[in-house]
Chain A
Amino acid sequence: MPGLGTSFGRGGATMALQDLANADAILIMGSSMAENHPVGFRWVIKARERGATVIHVDPRFNRTSAMADVWAPLRAGTDIVFLGALVNHVLTHGLEFRQFVVAYTNAPAIINDDFKDTEDLDGLFSGWDPEQRQYSPDSWAYKSSDPKVGHEDGHGGHAKDRGGEASPMAHDPPRDPTLQDPRCVFQILKRHFARYTPAMVQEVCGVPPEAFQRVADAYIRASGPERTGAICYAVGWTQHSTGVQTIRTAAILQLLLGNIGRPGGGILALRGHASIQGSTDIPTLYDVLPGYLPMPTFAGDGTSLDSYIAKHRLPRGWWGNLDRYIVSLLKAWYGDAATAANDYGFDWLPRISGDHSHFGYWLEMADATGTIDGLFVMGQNPAVGAPNARLARRALANLKWLVVRDLVELETATFWLDSPEIARGEMRTEDIATEVFFFPAAAHTEKDGCFTNTQRLLQWHERAVEPPGDARSEAWFMYHLGRRLKARAAADQRPANAGLNALTWNYRTIGPHAEPDANDILQEINGRRVADRSLLPGFHALESDGSTSCGCWIYSGVYPSPDRNRARERKGQGRYGQGWGFAWPADRRILYNRASARPDGTPWSDRKKLVWWDRANREWVGHDTPDFGKRKAPDYVPPSGATGDEALRGDAPFIMHADGMGWIWVPSGVKDGPLPTHYEPLESVIPNQLYSQQSNPVADRKERPDNPYAGSPLDPRYPHVLMTYRLTEHHTSGAMSRTLSHLAELQPEFFCEISPELASNIGAANGQHVTISTPRGSVVARALVTARMRPLRVHGRAVHQVGLPYHWGYRGLVRGDVANDLLAISEEPTVRIFESKGLVCRIEVRGPRSEVRDPRAEVRGSEVRR
């Protein structure tokens, strides 16, 4: 989550769900929280019952809007304009929490003279390279800062969660605490968002000024020493070609209002599955190692451990410890084989040599260029759940082998048998050479293990029953697969196998199926002293000399002794439930909570006190574990030559950042600019009203014949806005819900939500079958005509939005067309996520499914005729 990572220092929600109850206002945007996080939503309800104002800004009136005090519908894909206008409103009316902004953010920092804003360059920042279609962030740096290092090309953005890649920032930049200098961040920000006015919001988002005003008043009122506001978002913000920058805008707003690190203030990134936070902490991503350590690249930082550390260890701030974390990780993975002499096995780590992101390899597979022979699919259903799912299904047919592990035999495992392509005759089963292996998987009740939830909380779950039949856990599968691969490698001592041969792989196995002990795995993650294998109390005990091992430094402390698994503890106490589970890092429930106190260490107010300096005992105390040096006094000034955390002052709360500040301005790390800027979605119904630059210049459209786009702006064939989303009743691609009658009956058919106005325009009655098309394909769905959907007046015309839940596929108790066939594969520049909200589409009344023709079949037909 680089949007949060670059702004605050860590890529995780800054607050806890329980803390929402302490908020005075909650802005839910880019999320239908009641719909998709109903259990967490209880804290929103609690806040509302205590008198907080709940605001929902969303294209659709959904379950969340129904529970909100204020709802404002906006056109999908225009969140930055709306949020930017809130920022502008704060700045022009002087509503910022001035003391917080001056003390705890980089608003006073002076920026390089050669920086040019999008306002000067019509939608581009300085540093744009039109040939490479990327930015050089040199001109975005703080003035007279250190040597610039630049963006690492191959990297995706997840490692930027560390912040500050392009410059080591060894010294403080010049600052203007009066915020008057025209080159200071505050003034640049003011100019940057000056045109993001309520009138612009009306023109672009379709939100009338009085509605905007209502949201602005309700939310901004919750700011200052006595009050706080929280922002909740989910993939309604991330799945855009400007996703990271949308979250950045929210971060800027929260920093200006002083809503970070304080009770009821913060940004809650709502994660969509049980352990999605866990899957970035201990990543399934190509560009990070556990604990947000960057994956080395082929050239540059990857030549040796020293060069890696030199590049990524920051001279100041917590990342000054990076050497301890990488060496301990290597010791955990390679054990005795990792020695100082061989760089602790650093050379055995893979290297990034290009775009190895998810979509990169799917496109390669679709091209059948022969680089990918096989694929493991676990806990995913790309035949239904992937953008441009049709491309995904065709890509699967180019594999030599495919392993699918899941609870049920889902669509991905049977693409060769009953996919729409087979049904339409575009693929024939006998032509598909892919060998498919289906392995039944154990459910979470059938295995021990750990989830990391949306608020960074590790919660242990215990096996209640043995998995049935051949079903096994992921850990079992990976462990035994690894064991067999290692046995093969041991017999073949080629250099290519050296890493595999060195890998430690000796977990204790238990039970009738030789299941690896999940406790053993969590202990490895927690870390040990190498000499006596004793468990470590936390990451402060990690060393860089190879004397400690640790599988993921941010989780260290979760298993401090053999008889204490803190993830398993269930005695919640106090305001944030300490004693129930374990929140990374070091059980801090509210991140950056040093900011809940004034620079001198006293609380901003009695009502909003959280952590404060106890003068008598000279330590930080309060309701939460301090996210700060326990004994670092508020008036601490670093001695010259200090490094790491000791180089940060006692009033610098954002300890991961080299300057200890919250970053309104991100000098480097976000690939499309130091500040957020509105660009229209890659497909849009109107021209960009702010700049002649229509869409994000750095986004990668991946445009090709099997991933085509509508003309933009305004392709007359596709006049409406389309968005996909989830319903409470189903889970993602539906594999876990369409197979259960109790869930399937609740939403039994694929449907689209349209307004009565659009329904009457196309002549559709409620419940009728309609066809929805994009350049990628078309699907048939039942029309749910509802006043909850309403047209917006945007850029002088009525814009209709079509809502499409994406839970259906060609297997299960209830079936339907695959909504994701309509999406394009595209990549946001920093995290390479696709755009699923704010596409364009056509909708028309059509007969039953068999009558629907495939647009590409027509193309093929015409080619044949030619």
Chain B
Amino acid sequence: MITAFLTDSTLCIGCKACEVACKEWNQVPSDGYHFTGFSYDNTVALGHSTWRHVKFVERTAGVAAPIDGTAGYRSNTFRWDFSSDVCKHCSNAGCLEACPTGSIVRTEFGGVYVQPDICNGCGYCVVSCPFGVIDRRPEDGRAFKCTFCYDRQKAGLAPACAAACPTQSIQFGEIGELRAKAAARIAQLRERGIDDASIYDPQHTSVGGTHAIFVLRGRPEDYNLPSNPEVPTVHLRDGWSSAAVAAGLMLLGTAAAFFMQRE
């Protein structure tokens, strides 16, 4: 069965249970203790030691009320949105394509899995991820990211984050079913007047859809998600073509130089 996450930000209460459950199950080390001053987010971004990450987006939606220092109640123009981010497990995964050792594989559940015993720490995957998810651990240089709880899935369990989520903001299941669920959810939210709700599942770009689908409010960029993520290898044809053209031109130039000299 091909599985996926559906992370519904409109149900997320920002409790970070997913972050903690992930770390606990997968024995992910600490990020260190750094106060960022950026809302309630002190783990900052996905990385080698953060495989689930809750974003805290404070923003003024709609027309901002005048701030006179004592405005008091300003209607509900202010919003604080939470969204739990995770590896997208792309259908066309940049990291997997870039990996020269075969350490990164696609599992039978459709997830993208890094085999830590094969990874040699070259870091090609890090620059190839369109979402900035995969990251090298400084101690030994190896790359780490969400395993999609491969071990739990093998045993028939939901990933730790989905199991821990108290409000069903993180759902886990068969990808087709979840895509249908996401569409129904958007329809429901729109019906309630939440017009800025949308699905984030970039099927129109070269990543070809993800195994981590999101329901968001507002633009993906507000959640630090690229609206048009691309697998770096799509640039290969252009790159090689340019190189070929350049080589041809150089050849021509060289030939021309000889020719001109003869004259």
Q: Identify which of residues 205-233 in chain A touch chain B, using a CB-to-CB cut-off of 8 Å.
A: 206-208, 210-211
CB distance from A769 to the nearest CB of B (A): 11
| A745 and B33 form a contact (CB under 8 A) | yes
A112 within 8 A of B: no
Give the docked Cα–Cα distance between A65 and B39 (Å): 15
Q: What does the 1/0 interface line of A719-748 toward B look like (CB < 8 Å)?
A: 000000001110000000000011111111
- Which residue of chain A has the shortest Cβ distance to B37 in the bound complex? A767
Give the docked Cα–Cα distance between A210 and B65 (Å): 15
B141 within 8 A of A: no
Give the docked Cα–Cα distance between A65 and B75 (Å): 12
Q: Identify which of residues 754-813 in chain A touch chain B, using a CB-to-CB cut-off of 8 Å.
A: 757, 766-767, 782-788, 790-793, 798, 813
| B73 and A67 form a contact (CB under 8 A) | no
CB distance from B72 to the nearest CB of A (A): 5
| A782 and B168 form a contact (CB under 8 A) | no
If A745-B30, A745-B42, A757-B69 touch, whether A784 touches B37 (CB-CB below 8 Å) is yes
- Which residue of chain A has the shortest Cβ distance to B41 in the bound complex? A746
Q: Identify which of residues 187-215 in chain B touch chain A, using a CB-to-CB cut-off of 8 Å.
A: none
CB distance from B71 to the nearest CB of A (A): 7
Contact of B58 among A45, A206, A741, A787 (CB under 8 A): A787
CB distance from B92 to the nearest CB of A (A): 33
Contact of A34 among B15, B32, B79, B168 (CB under 8 A): B15
- Which residue of chain A has the shortest Cβ distance to B21 in the bound complex? A742
Using Cβ atoms and an 8 Å threshold, which residues of chain B touch A746? 16, 19-20, 42-43
If A42-B166, A63-B13, A767-B35 touch, whether A793 touches B20 (CB-CB below 8 Å) is no
B81 within 8 A of A: yes
Give the docked Cα–Cα distance between A746 and B33 (Å): 8
- Which residue of chain A has the shortest Cβ distance to B14 in the bound complex? A63
- Which residue of chain B has the shortest Cβ distance to A70 in the bound complex? B76
Contact of B37 among A207, A766, A793 (CB under 8 A): A766
Using Cβ atoms and an 8 Å threshold, which residues of chain B touch A785? 37
Give the docked Cα–Cα distance between A790 and B70 (Å): 8
| A747 and B40 form a contact (CB under 8 A) | yes
Q: Identify which of residues 14-61 in chain B touch chain A, using a CB-to-CB cut-off of 8 Å.
A: 14-17, 19-20, 23-24, 29-37, 39-40, 42-43, 58, 60
The listed residue with most A CB atoms (<10 A of its CB), out of B69, B73, B79, is B73
The listed residue with most B CB atoms (<10 A of its CB), out of A73, A210, A782, A790, is A790
Q: How many residues of A contact B (CB 8 A)?
A: 51
A39 within 8 A of B: yes
| B33 and A788 form a contact (CB under 8 A) | no
Contact of B43 among A206, A728, A745, A751 (CB under 8 A): A745
CB distance from B32 to the nearest CB of A (A): 7
Using Cβ atoms and an 8 Å threshold, which residues of chain B touch A744? 30, 33
Using Cβ atoms and an 8 Å threshold, which residues of chain A touch B78? 61, 787-788
Using Cβ atoms and an 8 Å threshold, which residues of chain B touch A784? 37, 39
Contact of A749 among B15, B35, B166 (CB under 8 A): B35
Give the docked Cα–Cα distance between A787 and B57 (Å): 12
Give the docked Cα–Cα distance between A791 and B42 (Å): 26
B74 within 8 A of A: yes
| B166 and A41 form a contact (CB under 8 A) | yes
| B70 and A748 form a contact (CB under 8 A) | no
Give the docked Cα–Cα distance between A809 and B36 (Å): 20
- Which residue of chain A has the shortest Cβ distance to B60 in the bound complex? A787
Q: Can you name 12 A-B residue pairings with CB atoms under 8 Å?
A: A34-B13, A39-B166, A41-B167, A742-B24, A746-B16, A746-B42, A749-B35, A751-B35, A766-B37, A790-B71, A793-B70, A813-B33
The 5 lowest CB-CB distance pairs between A and B, nearest first, are A767-B37, A748-B33, A749-B35, A741-B30, A211-B73
Residues in A lying within 8 Å of B, measured CB to CB:
34, 38-39, 41-42, 45, 61, 63, 65-67, 69-73, 206-208, 210-211, 727-729, 741-749, 751, 757, 766-767, 782-788, 790-793, 798, 813-814
Other A-B pairs, 11, CB within 8 Å; known A42-B168, A45-B167, A66-B14: A45-B11, A61-B78, A67-B13, A70-B76, A207-B72, A211-B73, A746-B16, A746-B20, A748-B34, A751-B35, A791-B70
